[in-house]
Amino acid sequence: MILGLLVVSSAYIFAISSLLLPVHGRAGLAFFERASEKLIVASEGEDLSLWVSAQLEIWRNEQRPSQRFADVVQSILYDADANPRSYTVQLNPGEVGTARCDACEVLARNYFRCVAAIMDEDGLQVDQARGIVSQSGVIIPHFPSKALISLS
């Protein structure tokens, strides 16, 4: 599929989907384009699909992600220089400074910490905990603004 100048292949979409990132249902191809661009840079020329798979395997085996993988996932989840800044919830174009936008930033900064906490507290494996955190985008819009602000 073509967006802008980037061809987002079905293999890329599959690899990105395998990350189980918290993304709202209407993010569509724009999300996959952003994620592809960032992952292509992070993979440093390695096939994106293979790199993502290898990074997930490292996370499973070592119970923590590589720093490069953690950095790119955080930047996929929230990018202060992008519009929209996040695809975790459906933000309006240019939306900044709202509780929802701030909650997306907090989640991006703490994504791996959230997964680790769920693993520790509930005795789950990485993939099980990722599955739970992947639902964050569904939950965030239903929190009162004050509760979202207290998360930071």
Nearest-angstrom CA–CA distance, 128 and 121: 12
Is it the case that residue 2 has pLDDT exceeding 50?
Answer: no
**What mean pLDDT, rounded, does the chain reach?**
89
Q: Residues 140, 103: contact at Cβ < 8 Å?
A: yes
pLDDT over 90 at 141, yes or no: no
Q: How many degrees, rounded to 5, is the angle at CA 23 between CA 20 and CA 25?
A: 115
Sorting pLDDT into bands at 50, 70 and 90, what band is 147?
low
